[in-house]
Amino acid sequence: MKRRLYNFQLKKCISVCKHLNNYTKLFADLANVDVMIENEDKALILLSFLPDEDYDTFVLTLINDKQSLRFNEISSTFVNHELRRKNK
């Protein structure tokens, strides 16, 4: 299951919401077998899955001057970013 998590990538053919749902399901599956991943690690792993060519500036802006990252904050910002991109 950890391997599935660390190989999980954002695919252009699925929506961001579906991607985040699948990502969250992976954490639930891991929790069911007593593998806990810290909230900040969840956020960092999510950001590392984003392709650099499309999200480099977004990621740098998001993490600039942050002492810590929270998964819920990162995921909602990611969804909002995608909605703005699609509206352009």
Average pLDDT over residues 2-24: 85
* SS3 call for 9: coil
Cα–Cα distances in angstroms (integers) from residue 28 to residues 35, 52, 73, in the given order: 9, 27, 18
Residue 25 — pLDDT band, cuts 50, 70, 90?
A: very high
pLDDT at 34: 93
Q: What are phi and psi of 55, to 5 degrees?
A: -125, 5
What pTM was computed for the model? 0.77
Domain ranges of the chain: 2-87
Letter string b/e over residues 53-80, b meaning 16 or more CB atoms within 10 A of that residue's CB: eebeebbeebeeeeeebebeebbeebee
